[in-house]
Chain A
Amino acid sequence: MNLLKAARLTFVLTVIPMMGLAAEVDQAADRAPEVSDLDLPFVYTDWEQFTVEDGLPNDHVFAVEVDGPRVWIGTEDGLARLDKRTGEIRSWKEEDGLPWRVVSALAVHPDTGEVWLGMFGGGLARFSGGRFDHFHQLNSGLVNDVVYGVCVENENIWAATTAGASRYNTRTGEWTIYTEKNAPMEEIWNYGCSYADGKVYLGVWGSGVLEFDIETENWKDYLDPDGEMEIDLYRDDGIVHVITTGVSYVDKTLWVTTYFGASRYDGRHWRGYFKKDSGAPSDFHNAVQARSANEAWFSTDKGLAQVADFPTDTWVVYTTDHASNTGQAIITRGERVLETRTIPPNIPHNYVLWTEIDGDDLWVGTSKGLANAKGGGFFPGLRRASDQATTVEPEEQPTNRGGS
């Protein structure tokens, strides 16, 4: 054994376990509060489904974006707008001026109300006052027409595409491309995009999460310390995998989804989530939207999953059984199922593609339509059992408490 190998072995045997120990010590300081099994999160029980029969242009719902009373819906064959006040759905297909049939991503500029559409194979479009302005790789500086994600950053529009990220300055008309040439992208297949607190987060297939600081224009990468292995060698040491599908940054907390699990990062600690040791119904995540540092919604291939209360690792997973026309909400804490509650049908299909948080409500895009969960009486985190004694449940629901 040469000296170099010996040094490496020493590092592996001593330093890395120490790092793990240090992490445990750190996390001990943030240890979960004591809760009882009766301290439960809010469960959505009031659901409404929308499909082509209700006016959607297509049932494959890839993206949902709420803008006040308007809910914008991107589908495999058209764009739709649902008016929450009237329930009316209006849709646009290619024959109505939509530049491309597959609307894979949506973002609304908070100032102008302009809707930005990412189109799978069709580039980017701005929908404003009924007019679609089409930006694609032939008529603009967009790097590629396969757009998976769109987000708004100040006066700029970011597009996550299969060949890098594009940033479009709506005032100057300048397009900037980010690829392996000028960003730490080992792969250039960008999936997701999120902007908050002066930073843009890109979820990149094969390159983890990239953080772009708007002020300094510096990049920071979040990679899986275990490399490209599909197991998590040392848990909670970083994102669980570099095949990243979604990012959401809220309350200075980054939530990340991959096809091999999900992660949460609060700037100090990482937390990994897998089906085997959490309430997650699957390790295959399509997207994530966070409501706060303690709550995030995961769009998985086996239902809609919620980290309802991060400190206690409490989850709720929503599924629908179409055969029995019933829904389930499974509440877990750690690896234990606290309760399996039978509720009305919720999501129209358990293959969930997108979740949009709308105040206390939710909008969920699935492969068989759109769902709207109404959050009357919603409360964040857990409600203490002692408090529940004085609270009237909105509706009596059959439950199956306990479980393994």
Chain B
Amino acid sequence: MRNSRSRPVVLTGLATLLAAAWGVSSTAQPREPVYVGVRVCSECHSGPEAGHQFSTWRLTPHAKAFATLSMEESTEIARLSGIPEAPHTARVCLGCHATAADAEEWERDETFLIEDGIQCETCHGPGSEYMDEEVMRNRELAMERGLKMPSGSTCMVCHGPKGSHEAVLSGEPYDLEKALQTIAHPRPESPPVEASTRSSETQALLGSSQHRFTGVMSCTKCHSGPEMGFQFSKWRMGPHARAFAVLGTPTAREMAKRSGVDGDPQASYACLRCHATGAGHDAASFEVGFDLRDGVQCESCHGAGADYSPEAVMLDPPAATAAGLKKPGPEMCTECHEQGHAGAPFHYQAAVAKIAHPKSPVAVGAAEPVYKTPINLALTPDGSELWVACEASSSTVVVDTATHEVLTEIEVGGQPHDVSFQPDGRRAYVTNRLDDTLSVIDVETHGVVATVEVGDEPHGVLLDAPGELIYVLNSAQDSVSVIDAETLQETKRLTTSRVPWSLSLSPDGEKIFVTNTLSDFVPPRTPPMSEVTVIDAERGAIEDRFIVPGANLLQGVAWHPSGEFAIVTLNRTKNLVPMTRLLQGWTITNGIGIVWRDGRVDQVLLDQPDIAFPDAADITMTSDGRLALVTSSGSDRVAIVNLEKLLSMLGEASPEERERIIPNHLAKSTEFVEAFVKTGLSPRGITLSSDDKTAYVANTLDDTVTVIDLERLEAVQEIDLGGPDLISQTRWGEQLFHSADITFRRQFSCHSCHPDGHVDGITYDIEPDGIGTDPVDNRTLRGIFDTAPFKWSGLNPSLQRQCGPRLAVFFTRIEPFTPTELEALELYITTIPRPPNRHRALGAPLTEAQRLGKAVYERTHTNGGRLIPPNGRCINCHPGPLFTDRQQHNVGTQSPLDREDTFDTPHLTNIYDSAPYLHDGTAFSLEEIWTRFNTYDQHGVTNDLTKDQLNHLIEYLKTL
């Protein structure tokens, strides 16, 4: 038990010093096991009698894994992986570059230092319960207490091929056998006997130091991170940090012998004087925590630091000098290096340049240009200003509608999505989907006056007619926040369907229609059924839910001035027949739904036989109710719909035609579409001036607003919102992703099935292997880059393969992307970021339920004490940091429709936001994975779990 933990008897003076250092830290922790860190392991696992295991580790890349996150290459890899944080703080990066990076604070003993990179306990498990010598000498007992003996698959969790790394780093592909040789650390069966003589030789030759040594790990408390130029990491990657460790090598031993040093060089002052800071001084010369084995540390050049290291002293140069801070000079280096072993002359300047560690701040942010990416827009009630929510620049651009000049740009929250005004025009409201906030802006001053917390990933925002209530759609939480406009307090939260997107108030102010992007959950082999949620604006309550059958991706919505109906944009995805039906115009059709006030719904397509109308995104109507304008982000057009003709056509049709024929008719739109107007790239939001003369369209991917003259029905101007001129490769890839140019008759884009890189919530029949065979749930693209292979079958080894030939064969049915297009597309897809986890903020402690769930996730025994075989443990197939082993497994989920019984292991990052689950989307909730689809414990041993344990497990899964 932790309270009774006894550290091994140490044999050397160094170890005694360490024991003193860490002895004070062995106070009881309330929970176990905890990570103790490599330095505690080294108490027994160093020196010749232990085969210099500690030094062997210190010479491997594992020991500098954390430090390497300071490299420019790491920043680039993070960028390629869509990781918005700096690598040395990013959970995913740290997961493979540091031990226990994802552990809570209590799980790390005071002796544990994350800066030591990949340490013993990454492979062998947290050591607090098995580290005692008597336990370690009993392998069975040690393993009972958590000691793990890793296999090659343990290594592959991190060392499996990763596109992001391969794209940046040169070098040989990872060879497991070679790697295992590199890190081999056998313990000699017959240890040499000279060890016991070394302490007398190394200690006290120089007596006490005038100032005490504090050690590099003390210095690093201030001298790490980008703001200090990553000074610690630079040292750690340099030869000085390895200077002590190299003395443990056979080469060093041989060299020492040639120099007349007999025995262990790590115990010889003759060697240590140049290989370890502080060598030769007595024990009183060292602060607790100093570790001689850190080699040549800061204090070799800057002087023993205990007296000058306090920040107040360091900031006062004369005081620091008086307290022992030295200015390094050539003599300090030449003392050791002129007598070096290399034989080559020592060049001071070159050497100094090599170890240079200026404390000037290092930029770790993305080098990508900051685009605007306008998503939605709105006119002030007086029509004088056009406000444009720009997702990528986290700003709202204000345009003068008289001059079409940009007036100002207002910094708001992260990824603003929609903008709306109070009816009196005094305030504007902008939703920020990254931050889960609503920015409240004074229209006159253009200043943000308040920021209000709302639900997850807010999208649409709208005021009621009196301007008293603000409705905000929480797209990732399937809810509406209702906020008092005066107090800015949220008064209630209403339940929508899945991923509410946009909303519109009826002309009489009585009803609000809300579109939901994803279909309700439907049984297998059932078309999507999407919902328009109806809010009673007087009560602020859900009044009704209108179903739009066969449709999904309901996004834009606008009421007709008559108040008799509203129109929504939609897709009609034919996911139940193989996607290869594209040539018949029968894969994804695009159009609008007329949602009548009483709940009846008509659907018409805006596709035409020769060219489709992909990704209908938003809609507006003229105040006379004659025209509707609909954006197609996949084809860069606006459709001008003559509503009189449309309603006339519907009125003349039979009920049977309106229900079955017209919703799928590819030629009907020729009867009521007056014109298609070309816009900029990827038009999304659209709005109209109150005089019906001018329409404004937000072109998401070229940072412009198209101005359409409604009398001429043509675009008359493009307003430049001020984005960068340079189109980066990533931006180009984003444009390709959102363009339907790649598909036959431009029926759909990548975005059609992966709206904004995420999911459409649909299970597809893709391949022409029979109707309904091999159904596959759509998987998110957020943060997928290093999770290859792709597809549920795991057959596609790379994104380029997935998006290249495979896409052409099964989806687009025309010439595939060119190699350069593919590169750009791949780059974009890899940079689609994972949103911040909504169930556990970065670095936040786990809740009690999450903590208990983690124990279930990592458990090795059933509730009855039975050992769970490794392949029955959650963590075995879903190991961090990606939470997938990237292998295929049979988890007992094969259905009669599946030809194969093994499926790719999905990553679990933000798993809570991509329901349904399993390869065929049959599990509508995480619970169902185990309550309905794990009868024989093939998907982890879970049938012994109590209901509360399963709840805890799910709470933990949601934090990943």
Contacts and interface: CB of A to CB of B under 8 A. Distances in A.
B657 interface: no
Contact of B541 (A113, A143, A173): A113
Contacts of B534: 129
Contacts of B839: 172
Interface centre among A114, A126, A139, A163 (most CB of B within 10 A): A139
Interface in A123-164: 126, 128-131, 133, 137-141, 143-144, 155, 163
Given A128-B494, A133-B495, 7 more contacts: A129-B533, A139-B928, A140-B927, A141-B927, A141-B950, A163-B947, A177-B951
A27 interface: no
24 contacts: A111-B493, A112-B492, A112-B542, A129-B534, A129-B545, A130-B544, A131-B545, A137-B931, A137-B947, A138-B932, A139-B924, A139-B927, A139-B931, A139-B932, A140-B925, A141-B947, A141-B950, A141-B951, A143-B947, A143-B948, A171-B455, A175-B951, A177-B948, A179-B948
B533 A177 contact: no
B681 interface: no
B927 A126 contact: no
A174 B849 contact: yes
A268 interface: no
A128 B495 contact: yes
Contacts of B477: 171
Contacts of A399: none
Interface in B583-619: none
B926 to A, nearest CB: 9
Contact of A112 (B541, B849, B947, B954): B541
Contact of B493 (A130, A171, A177): A171
A131 B950 CA distance: 27
Interface string B610-643: 0000000000000000000000000000000000
A343 B181 CA distance: 96
A138 B493 contact: no
A163 B542 CA distance: 32
B294 interface: no
Contacts of A137: 931, 947
B495 A112 contact: yes
A181 interface: yes
A139 B948 contact: no
B925 A111 contact: no
B339 interface: no
Given A113-B541, A138-B928, A139-B931, A181 B948 contact: yes
Nearest to B520: A131
B703 interface: no
A176 interface: yes
Contacts of B932: 138-139
A400 interface: no
Which size class do A's interface residues fall under? 20 to 34
Given A112-B493, A137-B947, A141-B951, A129 B928 contact: no
Contacts of B849: 174, 176
B944 interface: no
A138 B544 contact: no
Which 4 A-B residue pairings sit nearest by Cβ, starting from the closest? A111-B492, A129-B542, A141-B951, A113-B541
A144 B947 CA distance: 9
Contacts of B954: 141
Contacts of B544: 129-130
A176 B852 CA distance: 12
Given A129-B533, A171-B455, A181-B948, A113 B539 contact: yes
Given A113-B539, A130-B544, A176 B951 contact: yes
A10 interface: no
Nearest to B923: A139
A139 B932 CA distance: 8
B543 interface: yes
Interface string B942-953: 000001101100
A252 B492 CA distance: 26
A170 interface: yes
A263 B849 CA distance: 36
| Listed residue (A126, A133, A137, A141) with the most chain B CB atoms within 10 angstroms of its CB | A141
Nearest to B545: A129
B491 interface: yes
A137 B386 CA distance: 51
A202 B488 CA distance: 35
Interface of B: 455, 477, 479, 491-495, 531, 533-534, 539, 541-545, 839, 849, 912, 924-925, 927-928, 931-932, 947-948, 950-951, 954-955, 958
A57 B755 CA distance: 44
Interface in A336-354: none
B808 to A, nearest CB: 39
A138 B931 contact: yes
Contacts of A173: 912, 958
Interface of A: 111-114, 126, 128-131, 133, 137-141, 143-144, 155, 163, 170-177, 179, 181
A140 B492 CA distance: 23
Nearest to A137: B947
A171 B480 CA distance: 11
Contacts of B479: 171
A24 B947 CA distance: 47
Contacts of A170: 493, 495
B12 to A, nearest CB: 49
A131 to B, nearest CB: 5
Most chain A beta-carbon neighbours within 10 Å: one of B539, B543, B928, B947: B947
A17 B493 CA distance: 54
Nearest to A179: B948
Nearest to B544: A129
B542 A114 contact: yes
Interface-centre pick from B479, B493, B533 (highest chain A CB count, 10 A):
B493
A111 B491 contact: yes
Given A111-B491, A171-B455, A171-B493, A177 B947 contact: yes
Nearest to A175: B951
Nearest to B477: A171
Contacts of A138: 927-928, 931-932
Contacts of A128: 494-495, 542, 545
B535 to A, nearest CB: 9
Nearest to A126: B495
A98 B712 CA distance: 53
A113 B495 contact: no
A133 B531 CA distance: 14
A111 B480 CA distance: 13
B927 A129 contact: no
B922 to A, nearest CB: 12
A109 B924 CA distance: 25
Contacts of A179: 948
A133 B521 CA distance: 11
B927 A113 contact: no
Contacts of B543: 129
B495 A114 contact: yes
Contacts of B539: 113
Contacts of A126: 495
A69 B493 CA distance: 22
A139 B542 contact: no
A274 B680 CA distance: 81
Contacts of A112: 492-495, 541-542
Nearest to B951: A141
Contacts of A155: 493
A31 to B, nearest CB: 45
B883 to A, nearest CB: 19
Contacts of B925: 139-140
Nearest to A68: B539
A181 B952 CA distance: 14
A131 B533 CA distance: 10
Contacts of B931: 137-139
Nearest to B497: A131
B596 to A, nearest CB: 16
B674 to A, nearest CB: 36
Q: Select the residue from B455, B492, B924 with max chain A CB neighbours within 10 A.
A: B492
